[in-house]
Chain A
């Protein structure tokens, strides 16, 4: 999309990272400064500490105040320079040398240098802190080694070759050593940057800085005067003076606030709310858009753990394939999502354009084909009821999240589809954490209808999902090594693709993984919901993306075409 070039002054080479300011100039970008954007968050952020933030609301706020070395552009899904203006990779693919921007400053005016980068990664990797992000910096199970090789140059040594390793840097906020090192040394880092920390004590390299925090009500962020991006006219970003992150309290209130005009942008809405908002959009001066399927996929997971004591037919491939064939995915899309979703033929959603195996189409629903599959597997019918090869009636339960109406509705439709095969299905909605407890800890479930979301388009962060020893290997989280040959093959392919630098070769391997999954069906991919967003019509440079954060990922580029009454330019 945008073409990036370095500012002319940056050509002045300095021995120090200080010196001429090395701005990132977005050559195709223009806009006007001023105004305030109001965005209703679902709840209040829990912390401003990037090391320990685990919830999406906190990360949302932190993301506006912090910056990373290399960033994944949410629109193109490709990496682009951020605090690192360039990088090189050694021939063995294990050493990344990053050249940092010179002369840039934190939002409190203090200079940024390689020391801040080294400090940040030391903290993220500290085993005593258990940062939730630490595992991302452990390719192959061993930590990355970071060293300073100049005031504006750092090197990262990877323990193993790791394809697309530059994507690892996305989301790792670079911390101000001058503010956080004392807390780190005294073991108080976990308590640092809480909600009651004075705004002046929180600083970052992002487009905004904290101006005011009224707990439970709103955060007010103001423009970071030292931000390191500029537009084609040399105007330093961000364009907006302020961002008001008001706390709605619930998703319903987010929608109501947007509809009533009290919030300027809405991040993501459900299909039912979208229909209401769409109807009102002209009258109320906003637009809503359906971006198509995103990175989330909803699947029916079978419990394949033999020790869990679940019915034996669940472990028969013909049974799982028959279930998949009998489910009418188009009906799920139509009835549950009002058409705002895509049926799936693979667990990689179509929003992940670079990695989805497009040859895997969703199966055409067919009761007769499903019956044929069951017959070939030794299943029989008696009085309209399906019997397994041992002569027992086939009945099982689907557990799903009670707090998600869409999933409960989907489970009910699947129940109706499978009834045509003579299968008795019980739908059991459970509170979300109870559901997780059953799937991940006690393994007391037959099937689970759950949604997962790819945090990145690349397959590497999904190793825990597809590898047999992964914690998110939902069809059998108990196994520590592959219990079936096809699982061993998936393990081999995933390990191999992780180290191969060539995209085409990796894609071929990942396609194979998807094909094996669809042949053995430990999970039935069902649908991928569309990303439905909205914003005031007056908001310039609004380019919603399929990756999270869908609407405010380029907040520094957003501007008001016309300022509202009383707003300062």
Chain B
């Protein structure tokens, strides 16, 4: 209990630090939300000054931070100048799409990575291990952006998958099966990019953990006692290799909101990514800060969850 409380306190300090730094850096950036209006010859400098004052941008930085922090505590997450609205509802609407994408991709990636990693470790040094390693190295070397562009080009050329979005026009008049098919077809491309991006890292971690377990004395002993190979791999060695994988899983949970931002922008997935980019480009700082804070909070929560899980699984940590 004390361990959990201490970790929670660390997370709170981290969040306050991130909020202070983010707010400061965001406000150091040249220009503000109303700067772009200055290029419109039909809007006078006086009107823009009035709009700035109404938005409180003429207030000193500490006053603005206090206002923003109060709004965060109220659950509004600040006020978006672009949308003339509290930020929270804007972000919640988009989080569902982001979680659908990253949740699916994370699940599929782990689902593939665990058997692939075990299989690779079981065939350590053989041609199958080498072939898989080469393929994973290639995937690791290719940036997500390039993967996304290649898949998008394929989708446009073949017409097999829709380009961008989450549903097709007329989705609301489709039956349930058609709706599911429609969402899955839209999900395939961005989720495919994310899965291909995550797979090499996850598979290599599973493989490395399994190899370490395979080389341990208890594995040798188990083999000598004639325990069947499959049982040995899945029942005895996989739990022994779990510690680093649990940490990695915690990190995966923590990046559910942030891992896909760029891929969402490139593939036109209507999650937090396009909203975040638009807010950065438009200097809608309350929206930017909300996404940063939520991502940080989730990252801290993911790490906390991993630590607690390890605490529960590994008696050595409890002793320490």
Q: Which residues of A contact B (CB under 8 A)?
A: 36, 38, 40, 43-44, 46-47, 49, 52, 54-55, 127, 130-136, 138, 190-191, 194-196, 212, 214-218, 220, 244, 246-250, 253, 256-257, 259-262, 403, 432-434, 436-438, 440, 452, 455, 461-465, 470-472
CB of B29 within 8 A of chain A?
A: yes
Given the complex, which residues of A lie within 8 Å of B44, measured CB to CB?
135, 138, 464, 471
Of the candidates B31, B40, B162, the one whose C-beta lies within 8 Å of that of A455 is B40
Q: Which 5 A-B pairs have the closest CB atoms?
A: A433-B31, A437-B30, A216-B270, A130-B50, A464-B41
Given the complex, which residues of B lie within 8 Å of A190, measured CB to CB?
84
B35 and A437: CB pair below 8 A?
yes
CB of B271 within 8 A of chain A?
A: yes
Q: Complex formed: what's the CA distance from A103 to B78 in Å? A: 45
Residue pairs across A and B with Cβ atoms less than 8 A apart, 24 shown, are A47-B83, A47-B84, A130-B47, A135-B42, A135-B47, A195-B85, A195-B90, A215-B93, A217-B167, A218-B169, A220-B169, A247-B270, A250-B274, A253-B267, A253-B268, A257-B164, A260-B159, A260-B162, A262-B162, A262-B164, A433-B35, A434-B30, A464-B41, A464-B43
CB of B51 within 8 A of chain A?
A: yes
CB of B24 within 8 A of chain A?
A: no
B42 and A136: CB pair below 8 A?
yes
Q: Shortest CB–CB separation between residue B170 and chain A, in angstroms?
A: 8
Given the complex, which residues of A lie within 8 Å of B138, measured CB to CB?
none
Given the complex, which residues of B lie within 8 Å of A250, measured CB to CB?
265-266, 268, 274
**Interface magnitude class on chain B:** 35 or more
CB of B61 within 8 A of chain A?
A: no
CB of B216 within 8 A of chain A?
A: no
Q: Complex formed: what's the CA distance from A250 to B265 in Å? A: 7
Q: Complex formed: what's the CA distance from A132 to B159 in Å? A: 43
Q: Complex formed: what's the CA distance from A47 to B50 in Å? A: 20
Q: Complex formed: what's the CA distance from A403 to B280 in Å? A: 13
CB of B278 within 8 A of chain A?
A: yes
What would 11 more interface pairs be, CB under 8 Å, given A36-B169, A133-B42, A217-B166? A44-B270, A127-B50, A190-B84, A196-B85, A196-B89, A216-B97, A217-B167, A247-B274, A249-B164, A253-B268, A472-B41
Q: Shortest CB–CB separation between residue A194 and chain B, in angstroms?
A: 5
A132 and B37: CB pair below 8 A?
yes
Task: With CB as the reference atom, state the residue of chain A lying closest to B272.
Answer: A216
A249 and B54: CB pair below 8 A?
no
**In B30-80, which residues have CB < 8 Å from any A CB?**
30-32, 35-45, 47-48, 50-51, 54
Most chain A CB inside 10 Å of its own CB: which residue of B39, B48, B85, B167:
B39
Q: Shortest CB–CB separation between residue B272 and chain A, in angstroms?
A: 9
A260 and B169: CB pair below 8 A?
no
Given the complex, which residues of B lie within 8 Å of A432, measured CB to CB?
36, 281
Q: Shortest CB–CB separation between residue B224 and chain A, in angstroms?
A: 58
Q: Complex formed: what's the CA distance from A218 to B44 in Å? A: 33
CB of B156 within 8 A of chain A?
A: yes
CB of B165 within 8 A of chain A?
A: yes
Q: Which residues of B contact A (CB under 8 A)?
A: 29-32, 35-45, 47-48, 50-51, 54, 82-85, 89-90, 93-94, 97, 152, 155-156, 159, 162-167, 169-170, 172, 264-271, 273-275, 278, 281-283
A215 and B94: CB pair below 8 A?
yes
Task: With CB as the reference atom, state the residue of chain A lying closest to B34.
Answer: A54
Task: With CB as the reference atom, state the residue of chain B lying closest to A464.
Answer: B41
Q: Shortest CB–CB separation between residue A404 and chain B, in angstroms?
A: 12
Q: Complex formed: what's the CA distance from A259 to B164 in Å? A: 12
Given the complex, which residues of A lie within 8 Å of B270, measured CB to CB?
44, 216-217, 247, 249
Q: Shortest CB–CB separation between residue A254 and chain B, in angstroms?
A: 9
Q: Complex formed: what's the CA distance from A292 to B281 in Å? A: 30
Given the complex, which residues of B lie within 8 Å of A434, measured CB to CB?
29-31
B155 and A246: CB pair below 8 A?
no
A194 and B84: CB pair below 8 A?
yes
Q: Complex formed: what's the CA distance from A261 to B40 in Å? A: 34
A438 and B30: CB pair below 8 A?
yes
Task: With CB as the reference atom, state the residue of chain B lying closest to A438.
Answer: B30
Task: With CB as the reference atom, state the residue of chain A lying closest to B51.
Answer: A130
B41 and A249: CB pair below 8 A?
no
Q: Complex formed: what's the CA distance from A177 to B98 in Å? A: 39
B167 and A38: CB pair below 8 A?
no
